[in-house]
Homo-oligomer: A and B are copies of this chain.
Amino acid sequence: MSLLIVGSIALDSIENHHGKVHDVLGGSAVYSSVSASFLYDKVSIIGVVGQDFPKEHVELLDKHGVNTSALHFADGETFRWRGRYNNLNQAITLETHLNVFEKFNPVIPEDLRDSPFILLGNIDPEIQLNVISQMKKPKIIAADTMNYWIIKKLDKLIEMFQHIDILFINDDEIRLLTQEHYIYEAYQKILTYGPKIVVVKKGEHGVMIVKKGFYFFAPGYPLKKVMDTTGAGDCFSGGFMGYLASCKTPNDKILRQAAIIGTITSAFNVEGFSLDSLTELSKEKIDSRFDELKKYTQFE
């Protein structure tokens, strides 16, 4: 019984108006795994790093109970990304060195193939499909994607959609995919592509869950200071999936709660560079913000 999280592991260099950081821990699988670890104690990370990957980063994952047994150390250097934020919401990529990530195509270890919960980070849909094909009896498969794959690998993306339960995506990507003018028609259309649940990421405006005959809106958590939004979406999906995995039979009530939990893990993360703030999270802090968000949204 495990939540398998597949995606990038990176060393990020980030500049914004708060300052600069160099070669700090990042990558979708890292952000998602650590976020999920606060909700569920059987999280396994699947990813590739180079020989230069600092030991302390592996220790950090271990410390949070993330199973790193399937972390692959390849010959070469770790994936590196350098970006600048002119405002806090949009990153400009300055450099990308895929390095060992270029040939990432994971073989899932035998003992993890019966994991019921799978979160596929935003990677090539062919790799997502390849992972799915290795799983024995998945209960919930969730995947993230982006405009790059919609443009480059639409066929494979559409094929992948037919195998997943949950899709994380934003409004622009939904419009690009569906070519629908009206966003609520686009939401309905995307449900016909395969995913049973679409989680629409709206940045500072929160998230929206769309399912047949079902909507749920979760606002962004009101944060006084935002330090760095890198990994915000991955922390959302990690918290969301960690919570779903912790509940035996996810129903509508749990889906709503998961959206709120993801909102909270994501909000904690953006309060610091890299995982600095996220790693300070606790069950108590999550519960306290959960109650706060209830106050901010409930009416009679």
**Chain A: residues with CB nearer than 8 A to chain B?**
17, 181-185, 202, 204-206, 208, 215-217, 219, 222-226, 253, 256-257, 259-260, 294-300
A202 to B, closest residue via Cβ: B205
Sample of 12 further A-B pairs with CB below 8 A, known A206-B219, A216-B296: A182-B224, A183-B204, A184-B222, A184-B223, A185-B224, A216-B299, A219-B219, A256-B298, A256-B300, A257-B299, A260-B299, A297-B298
B215 touches A222 (CB 8 A): yes
**Complex Cα spacing A225 to B180, Å:** 12
A182 touches B225 (CB 8 A): yes
A297 touches B223 (CB 8 A): no
**Complex Cα spacing A219 to B17, Å:** 30
B182 touches A216 (CB 8 A): no
Q: How far is the CB of A18 from chain B (nearest CB, A)?
A: 10
Chain B residues lying within 8 Å of A257, measured Cβ to Cβ, are 299-300
A17 to B, closest residue via Cβ: B181
**Complex Cα spacing A223 to B215, Å:** 12
**Complex Cα spacing A208 to B223, Å:** 14
Known: A202-B205, A205-B202, A205-B205. A217 touches B296 (CB 8 A): yes
B299 touches A253 (CB 8 A): yes
Q: List 17 A-B contacts (CB under 8 A).
A: A182-B224, A182-B225, A182-B226, A206-B217, A215-B295, A215-B296, A216-B296, A217-B219, A219-B219, A253-B299, A256-B298, A256-B299, A257-B300, A260-B299, A297-B297, A297-B299, A298-B298
**Complex Cα spacing A225 to B215, Å:** 16
Chain B residues lying within 8 Å of A222, measured Cβ to Cβ, are 184, 215
Query: 4 closest pairs, A vs B, by CB?
Result: A217-B219, A256-B299, A205-B205, A215-B296
From B181, B297, B300, A216 is in contact (CB under 8 Å) with B297
B297 touches A217 (CB 8 A): yes
Q: How far is the CB of A119 from chain B (nearest CB, A)?
A: 22
